[in-house]
Structure 1
């Protein structure tokens, strides 16, 4: 330590005094949240002033609250009164989010512990799908499909985006056709199976179909390295459950008990930054790279295979599901989406209004919407119609 560093704390001493790790301090320096007083030009060693301890301890406390780093930066930039208001507002958001998740947990607990067995009557889907080019794009690279067994949305990108999305959905439609021909995907009761097909078999079949979709997308063409491909969000109906497959930033939502729940995770670079605490959700919504995908089905055979999420989703009578491209979810506020889904009587009415709302807000992207209602058989036997 040179004479110019007298009175300064090394990163190790500062870490011990502030109860922050040296790794965290290096990250906060990179983010401009807690910048050292001096960095040795030769060794790169960081030195901190004793006066920085108060801010460092505040950062540590806020991290213990779970506050994202970008939000912490806003708190630290304010005077004490403004900082207190920011913390108060953040905690109100946490409590609201916790309340929503508590309601969902209560629904799940009731379903798992209070249902007791198979439903009293077979369940079926009533469905509708609609896709539109929007008000800005010259062509539509989305594919939307709804049938008695399969719901799917694919959002293509790049020169070969449209055929890539269509190929991915077509691969899953072949699985639906096989199920119809062989009755390979019967209804599944709680605690057992009907017809001898277990949940694992459904998921295995869906994973195989995803790999077929991946091969189909890579056969869709496009110049090497051009960066074409598609997202894929789909649900395969088994009779009492929906098998979900998801990759990319198209979304699936569940309307249940008056609450709207996003049941997929956006596979985007910005979402990963939010999860790491580097961005707030508000910053993510307006980030210039918010549409940059971290996972997708691509036409590039040299790129590594990105994993798709595959899981089972229990269905209850009265559930309403929405699958959509980001031309809807990134344009229409979530509250408006919930309001339309809760009010619209039939799926075809819901998909039309959702697409209309996206276009009324400028229609900056292709927009696709698939809505499906879970009903007991015989409630209404007239399907809303398949759409692609």
Structure 2
């Protein structure tokens, strides 16, 4: 497997950026693996629960374990990440989103907690994931939501059973896939997310702008973004195969 962020065999490009912000340390993590021989790839963003070394270690351990196992099954990859945390007693807990794809124009996503995945294509931004938070739980039942509920997750890597893991199977045509921690999506309005993803010339520009803008607008959390571009050339080649 490779972590090269230029993949001519699949016509994918990706990049990631992460910034500590006003926190004591950065407890977010990203990870990526590609298997050109098998035509598969996997990306992950994890967000440690807390602002301490154990949280940071949990995010790094979970992200690495997930992408190492995710080239076939993102739900299973999160369970592998759970096992990795169980085997590392000095780590804390984290939330996680994993995206897996291949030579076709589909992408499988799994998540726990409030890391998110967005798909931008043809001028439209779509939120693929649904937050596993107390606020989302109350909102779905038309109950009053207190501000603090937005930051209380109802699933995490250490605690989620397989049936609690969120999953989605989405098209990934020529366009952009964004994975991010809540330090990005809870600070930037949807319109700003869409504008940045639409205007950035490449994944590197997109992730840098997302993270910098989140903190410039007053974000108080770590901010992490990973963007994957699939080019029209790949789509055309796939259709002709």
TM bucket normalised to smaller: 0.7 to 0.9
**Partner in structure 2 of residue 16 of structure 1:** none
Matches within 5 A, 1:94-173: 123-134=10-21, 136-148=22-34, 149-158=41-50, 159=52, 160-173=54-67
Which residue of 193, 207, 221 maps to 1:351?
207
Tell me if the contact between 1:247 and 1:297 (Cα under 8 Å) persists in the aligned partners: yes
| 1:304 Cα deviation from its structure 2 partner | 6.4
Larger strand proportion of the pair:
2
**Partner in structure 2 of residue 118 of structure 1:** none
TM superposition score normalised by structure 2? 0.82
| 1:378 Cα deviation from its structure 2 partner | 7.1
**Partner in structure 2 of residue 175 of structure 1:** 69
Tell me if the contact between 2:11 and 2:230 (Cα under 8 Å) persists in the aligned partners: yes
Tell me if the contact between 2:183 and 2:214 (Cα under 8 Å) persists in the aligned partners: yes
**Partner in structure 1 of residue 179 of structure 2:** 323
Paired with 1:311 and 1:260, the residues of 2 have a C-alpha distance of 16
Gaps of 5+ in 2: 1-8, 35-40, 236-241
**Partner in structure 1 of residue 129 of structure 2:** 264
Gaps of 5+ in 1: 1-121, 180-201, 380-388
Paired with 2:78 and 2:182, the residues of 1 have a C-alpha distance of 21
Instruction: Pick closer, same or farther for the CA change 1:349–1:147 going to 2, 3 Å.
Output: farther
| 1:238 Cα deviation from its structure 2 partner | 1.6
- SS at the partner of 1:266? coil
- SS at the partner of 1:145? strand
Paired with 2:99 and 2:198, the residues of 1 have a C-alpha distance of 21
| 1:312 Cα deviation from its structure 2 partner | 2.4
Tell me if the contact between 1:165 and 1:217 (Cα under 8 Å) persists in the aligned partners: no
Query: RMSD in angstroms over aligned alpha carbons?
Result: 2.2
**Partner in structure 2 of residue 191 of structure 1:** none
Tell me if the contact between 1:145 and 1:370 (Cα under 8 Å) persists in the aligned partners: no
Paired with 1:310 and 1:337, the residues of 2 have a C-alpha distance of 22
Asked which structure has the greater CA Rg, the reply is: 1
Which residue of 186, 210, 233 maps to 2:97?
233
Larger helix proportion of the pair:
1
- SS at the partner of 2:17? strand
Instruction: Pick closer, same or farther for the CA change 1:259–1:338 going to 2, 3 Å.
Output: same
Tell me if the contact between 2:65 and 2:84 (Cα under 8 Å) persists in the aligned partners: yes
Alignment length (residue pairs): 217
User: Which consecutive segments of 4 or more residues in structure 1 shift more than 6 A?
Assistant: none
Matches within 5 A, 1:257-336: 257-279=122-144, 287-298=147-158, 305=161, 307-317=164-174, 319-336=175-192
